[in-house]
C-alpha cells in the first residue's frame, strides 16, 4: 500500500458560472460566454494543478449558469455530492448579489470576474 498523507477522497474544485439573471436578452446574451469561462478555467486547473500524489485535480462545473437562488442551491447540492473542497465562481458581468454568490461560510472560495457588459 502506498503511503499517503491524504485521508478520504481527493478534494475537487467546484466551478460556479454566475450570471446576471435578468431575462429579456441580458441573461441570454451572457450564457454561452459564462459557460465558456467555466470550461476554460476547469481545463486550465486540471492541466496544471496536481494533488500531492501527482494526480490531476478534478473540476466539477455546475450544470447551468447561476442567475438565482434555485440555481445556486442546485450547484451547491451537486458540489456536496461530488466531493468539492473549494469553489471558484466565474462571471463576465456584474452579478455579485446574494442570489448568485456562494454563501457557505465553511467552503474556501474565490471569484474570477470581468465586467465585460
Residue-wise pLDDT tens digits, 13-30: 999 999 987 888 877 888
Q: Is residue 69 part of a domain?
A: yes
**46: confidence class by pLDDT, cuts 50, 70, 90:** very high
Total structural domains within the chain:
1
Look up the pTM and report it.
Answer: 0.87
CA distances (Å), origin 66, targets 6, 52, 71, 75, 86: 32, 32, 5, 8, 17
Kindly state whether residue 2 falls inside one of the protein's structural domains: no
63 found inside a domain: yes
In a domain, 101, yes or no: yes
User: Does residue 42 form part of some domain?
Assistant: yes
Instruction: Please indicate, yes or no, if residue 10 is contained in any of the structural domains.
Output: no
Band (pLDDT 50/70/90 cuts) for residue 37 is very high
In a domain, 58, yes or no: yes
Residues spanned by the domain of 105: 15-113
Domain CATH number, residue 33 = 3.40.50.1070
Amino acid at each position: 500500500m502506498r503511503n499517503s498523507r491524504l485521508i478520504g477522497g481527493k478534494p475537487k474544485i467546484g466551478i460556479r458560472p454566475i450570471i446576471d439573471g435578468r431575462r429579456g436578452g441580458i441573461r441570454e446574451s451572457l450564457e454561452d460566454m459564462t459557460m465558456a469561462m467555466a470550461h476554460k478555467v476547469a481545463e486550465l486547473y486540471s492541466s496544471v494543478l496536481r494533488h500531492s500524489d501527482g494526480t490531476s485535480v478534478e473540476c466539477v462545473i455546475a450544470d447551468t449558469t447561476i442567475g438565482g437562488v434555485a440555481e445556486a442551491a442546485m450547484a451547491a447540492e451537486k458540489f456536496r455530492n461530488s466531493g468539492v473542497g473549494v469553489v471558484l465562481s466565474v462571471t463576465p458581468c456584474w452579478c455579485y448579489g446574494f442570489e448568485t454568490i456562494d454563501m457557505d461560510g465553511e467552503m474556501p472560495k474565490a471569484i474570477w470576474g470581468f465586467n465585460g457588459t
